[in-house]
Amino acid sequence: MTDKTQIPVDISVHEFQKLIRDRYFASDNARGTAGTFLYLTEEFGELATALANNNRPNRPPTDAEKENLEEEFADVLAWLATLANINGVDLASTLIKYTDPNRVQGVKD
């Protein structure tokens, strides 16, 4: 598994989105929304495969499968942050939809 001792234990949504922006904005913005959305959908497919590999009946996942699942979750978050960056959306601000108790109503089935 990956050595996670150098990874921050906790990073804010704002900090993560800024990190992605600082590293990749020029190429992401040049690719545009449509191309970036295609990359995000590809990552969703890879996450779906990783979830299936980690949830097989009668067989626990291998260490490599667990590591891949973690990587795919990270990739989906990174591409989502990328889409937000090139479309001028601050993800941290959008989370009010779920963090404001006056807006959160009911449970999805």
More confident residue, 100 or 93: 93
- Mean pLDDT (whole number) for 45-73: 97
- Give the pLDDT score at 98: 86
pTM: 0.84
pLDDT digits (tens, 9 = 90+) for 6-57: 666 789 999 999 999 999 999 999 999 999 999 999 999 999 999 999 999 9
Q: Side chain identity at 26, as an amino acid letter?
A: A
- Give the pLDDT score at 68: 98
Residue 19: Cβ-neighbour burial (10 angstroms; 0-12, 13-18, 19+)? middle
Q: Side chain identity at 23, as an amino acid letter?
A: R
51 vs 70: CA distance, rounded Å: 10
- Give the pLDDT score at 103: 81
> What domains are there in the chain, each with its CATH number?
15-99 (1.10.287.1080)
61: DSSP letter:
P
* Residue for token pair 């990956």: 2
- Residue 2 pLDDT greater than 60, yes or no: no
